[in-house]
Structure 1
Amino acid sequence: MIKLIIADDEHITRLGLQSMDWENEGFRLEGAASTGPEALAMVRSLAPDLLVTDIRMPGMDGLTLMQTLKQEYPKIKVVFITAYHQLDYALSAIELGAVGFVLKPTDPDEILEVCRKAKDQIEAEREQAAAETHLRQQLKEYTLTLQGKVLPEADSGNAIVATMTDFLEHHYMEDVTIGKISEELHFHPDYLSRLFKKETGENFSDTLTRIRMQKAVEHLADPEIRVYEIAAKVGIKDARYFGQMFKKRFGLTPNEFRQQQLALIDEDNSGRAEP
Structure 2
Amino acid sequence: MNGSLFELRLRNGDYIPRFFAYYYKQWRDYTMPYHDHRSTEIMYMISGLCRVDVQTGGKAESITLRKGEFIMLDAGVPHRLVVEGEQSCRMLNVEFGFMEGMSVGPSIRQMAAEEQEITAFMSRPFPYLVLSDPEEVYFTLKSLVLELDQRKEHPGAMAELLFMQLLVRIARLREEAAHSNTQQTDMYVKRCLEFLHLNYDRDIVVQDMAAAVNLHPGYLHRIFKKHTGQTLTAYLTMLRMDKARMLLQQTDIPIQEIADYVGVGSRQYFHMLFKKHTGKTPVEYRSAVERHVWNYAEEEGD
If the TM-score is normalised by the length of the shorter chain, which range does it land in? 0.3 to 0.5
Structure showing the higher helix proportion among its residues = 1
Structure with the greater relative contact order (CA < 8 A, sep ≥ 6): 1 or 2? 2
Structure showing the higher strand proportion among its residues = 2
TM-score (norm: length of structure 1): 0.40
Say which one has the larger Rg: 1
